[in-house]
Amino acid sequence: MRLRVRASLSMIIVLIASFVATQPARAAAAGDVVSAQPTTVYLLPGKLLEVPVNAWHLLYRSTSATGSLNAVSGTLLVPKAGYALGKRPIIGYATGTHGLGDQCAPSVSMSKGGEAELALVSLFLLKGFAVAITDYEGLGTPGLHTYMAGISQGHAVLDSIRAATKVSGSGLSTGGPVAVMGYSQGGASAAWAAQLQPSYASELKLKGVAAGGVPADLRAVAAHLDGDANFGLAAAAGIGLDAAYPELNIQADLNDRGRALLADAADDCVGDLESKLAGLRFSDLSPVDLMNQPKWLARLNENRLGAVAPRVPMFIYHAQGDEIIPQAISATLRSEYCRAGVNVRWVSLPAPSHVTGAIEGGPLAIEWLGLRVLGLPAFGNC
């Protein structure tokens, strides 16, 4: 009798194992964690002043500008103290321009103590919020950085939040309040996250988005920077969009000088980009009018913010003296959102430059987002 029972149990186990083995594995999806390695982040160079948080270097799934699944790196920071007000909020933090080479990635600079934006991130950590900081597509991972391809950047921000909830030992979970913040490149990324969230990541409990110094219209920014000391940023955007959309094939439209300069710039960080290309024009790099070619116009229009109304309150701030991204570009975005019924809080800062706009506006944005996360109503000024 015992032998029969054991044989029956063995047969059941074999059948169950066979059933499990024949079930198809779940396909990889955006927001999945590929790897999460504990790391340490520092506020000062030389690995001085360790930030007292639990930290992970992440590799997670996201979606490219053309809809392909990719892998993006980033960093997750979680305060060590508990959070007493329910599920710990998660902030998707989008950094400003770092450059095109993998060595420029925010995760690299944080691990070495060279990340200036940690000063702002720390204000979220002091509130007890977790912060997910994306490196964006191709920055810190194989392939070219799709710099200023807004759709890719928005996906990367939203998926960093999704991935944060799946990191073992983080104490984070789905269903808690989330918010997004960014400035400059990060401002565009944050606004794109706001526009994309309802269709791309509707499960996220997004409470508000703060976007500063927003390059909402890349064509207008490129025209402003043509021949300017900061022309390198416009050239980098050309490299980034070309990486995102292969049909642009920028190499075919460059002259020999342009090919050499952009090839040299393709792995530079922001300082070298600006110094090497300062004062140049697109006409120095190409015999054709790049920005007015139909293929470029189509992609530039596709990556222009304002066509879709976010469903969450927006805090948009911009320096009056911004020399890189004219304030009028953000003001136009504000007007478009207001006409579409978005709850917008607009702040025109007296700051005399792009960088000082981040310094003046950052703490205001963080306080505004903190109130949204806690559930307080937002009052716009359209």
Q: Say how many residues make up the chain.
A: 382
pLDDT for 138-155, tens place per residue?
A: 999 999 999 999 999 999
Q: DSSP characters for 282-313?
A: HHHH-SS-GGGSHHHHHHHHHT-TTSS--SS-
Torsion on CA atoms 20, 25, 26, 27, rounded to nearest 10 = -170
Residues 296 and 276: their CA atoms lie apart, in Å, by 24
From CA 379, how far away is CA 345, in angstroms rounded?
7
Which residues does residue 82 pair with via DSSP β-bridges, in sequence order? none
CB atoms within 10 A of CB 47: 14
- What percent of the chain is modeled with pLDDT above 90? 91
- Predicted confidence (pLDDT) per residue in 75-120, tens digit: 999 999 999 999 999 999 999 999 999 999 999 999 999 999 999 9
On whether the pTM is more than 0.85, the answer is: yes
Domains, the chain, with CATH or none: 33-217+307-373 (3.40.50.1820), 225-301 (1.10.260.130)
- Predicted confidence pLDDT, tens digits, the chain (382 residues): 433 433 343 443 333 334 334 444 568 899 999 999 999 999 999 888 999 999 999 999 999 999 999 999 999 999 999 999 999 999 999 999 999 999 999 999 999 999 999 999 999 999 999 999 999 999 999 999 999 999 999 999 999 999 999 999 999 999 999 999 999 999 999 999 999 999 999 999 999 999 999 999 999 999 999 999 999 999 999 999 999 999 999 999 999 999 999 999 999 999 999 999 999 999 999 999 998 999 999 999 999 999 999 999 999 999 999 999 999 999 999 999 999 999 999 999 999 999 999 999 999 999 999 999 999 999 999 9
Asked if residue 131 lies in contact with residue 77, where contact means CB atoms within 8 angstroms, the answer is yes
- Residue whose tokens read 């978005």: 342
Give yes or no for a contact between 329 and 220, defined as CB atoms under 8 angstroms apart: yes
For residues 338 and 198, give the distance between their C-alpha atoms in angstroms, rounded to a whole number: 18
What was the pLDDT predicted at 341? 98
